Amino acid sequence: MNDPPRITVIVPFCNAASTLGACLEAIRSASPPFDEVIAVDDGSVDNCVEICAHKQVRVLRMETRSGPAAARNRGAWAADGDLLCFLDADVVTEPDNAEKIARCFQADSELAAVFGSYDTSPGDPRFVSQYRNLLHHVVHQHANVEARTFWAGCGAVRRDVFLEIGGFDAQRYPEPSVEDIEFGLRLHRRGHRIRLEKSLQVKHLKSWRLFPMLRTDIRCRAWPWSLLILERGDEVSDLNVDQAGRWSGALVCLAVALIFLSLLPHGPPPALTVFGALAALVCAVGLNLKIYRFFARERGLVFAAGVIPLHLLYFLTGSLTFGTAWMWVRLLRRRPPREEPSGTSAC
């Protein structure tokens, strides 16, 4: 039997003192243990470095704040392991995740990368955090095992493959964004296989509030993701961008448009437009019954009912952002950047 691969864990952080200690403690408690742990400080001004020293973790420091993509690349360049396991500073890994990762790569010599999902027990008990993290879990758990994307919250990749394709695109994504999705797309385009391992799970400790969540969804997720879709088309149709999601977004936008028409003084009959809006929303809910049943099983019917308007708002903001990006690209004749990192220069 082949010797198990050496695994280096890379944790980028920036002012993450509230969660970093628990993250590193879980990594140190893994059984079997990870072979190497590297934390990368991306310009923190809190006591994160002291926390790393207390946990006896090697720390690399970025010269200037450059974003998680650059921080991960820095850690990868310094790593000794055969596999690079990326963990966010606000997650707690399960004790046997090192074994699960190693087993995936040992069982499939052609596998280039593997990633997992959040578990069903988020650290923050409040409603918005529970919704956001459970949504991530259910989307990943119902996605295809053979993936065309990657998730750096808990994901591993062969180090030689990572360096071969240039790592994360730190130039294009100098802030937290969709750098892991773009990285996965490049992996897939180069013919490398990526696996979504549904048993590979981590607890998310982040506390979400409604408006910061919406701002993050639009600015850091929906907008750059829309540019990737417009740049690469159906290649991006994985996880959140499936047909049901697209139809749901269209139906919610239609409902909002009909409600707006009902308010116009000389518009169509209000009864007709309101009925049409309700019908569109009911259809959107019907397309996502699988997700709402999951919420009901996990947190009860009241919680699931409360999730519905938040989830419809998610579809609305995503669709409006995509429409804005489409106009920015097509009507203003702008072109999303297509350059890709190559070799080890990105690291």
pLDDT at 4 over 50: yes
pLDDT of residue 239: 65
Tokens 């119902």 belong to 142
SS3 per residue for the chain = CCCCCCEEEEEEECCCHHHHHHHHHHHHCCCCCCCEEEEEECCCCCCHHHHHHHCCCEEEECCCCCCHHHHHHHHHHHCCCCEEEEECCCEEECCCHHHHHHHHHHHCCCEEEEEEEECCCCCCCCHHHHHHHHHHHHHHHCCCCEECCCCCCEEEEEHHHHHHCCCCCCCCCCCCCCHHHHHHHHHHHCCCEEEEEEEEEEEECCCCCHHHHHHHHHHHHHHHHHHHHHHHHHHHCCCCCCHHHHHHHHHHHHHHHHHHHHHCCCCCCHHHHHHHHHHHHHHHHHHCHHHHHHHHHHHCHHHHHHHHHHHHHHHHHHHHHHHHHHHHHHHCCCCCCCCCCCCCCCC
Do 4 and 81 touch, CB atoms closer than 8 A? no
Tell me what the mean pLDDT of segment 14-21 comes to: 97
- Highest mean pLDDT of the ranges 1-15, 294-308, 320-334: 294-308
* Tens digit of each residue's pLDDT (9 = 90 or more) over 254-263: 999 999 998 8
Pick the residue with more confidence: 346 or 160?
A: 160
Q: What is the CA 297 to chain-centroid distance, rounded?
A: 24
pLDDT at 10 over 90: yes
pLDDT at 341 over 90: no
pLDDT of residue 346: 41
Q: Burial level of 62, CB count in 10 A (0-12/13-18/19+)?
A: middle
* Tens digit of each residue's pLDDT (9 = 90 or more) over 229-248: 888 765 566 666 678 888 99
pTM of the model: 0.92
Per-domain residue ranges for the chain?
A: 7-208, 243-331
Query: How crowded is residue 29: how many other Cβ atoms within 10 Å of its Cβ?
Result: 12
Report the share of the chain in percent with pLDDT over 70. 93
Could you give the CA distance from residue 319 to residue 222 in angstroms, rounded to a whole number? Answer: 9
What CATH number is given for 7-208 in this structure?
Answer: 3.90.550.10
Could you give the CA distance from residue 54 to residue 73 in angstroms, rounded to a whole number? Answer: 24
Tell me what the mean pLDDT of segment 14-39 comes to: 97
Find, among 318, 138, 89, the residue nearest to 221 by Cα. Answer: 318
pLDDT at 1 over 60: no
Tell me what the mean pLDDT of segment 324-347 comes to: 65
Structure tokens at 49: 């470095």
pLDDT at 158 over 70: yes
pLDDT of residue 347: 39
* Tens digit of each residue's pLDDT (9 = 90 or more) over 187-218: 999 999 999 999 999 999 999 999 999 999 99
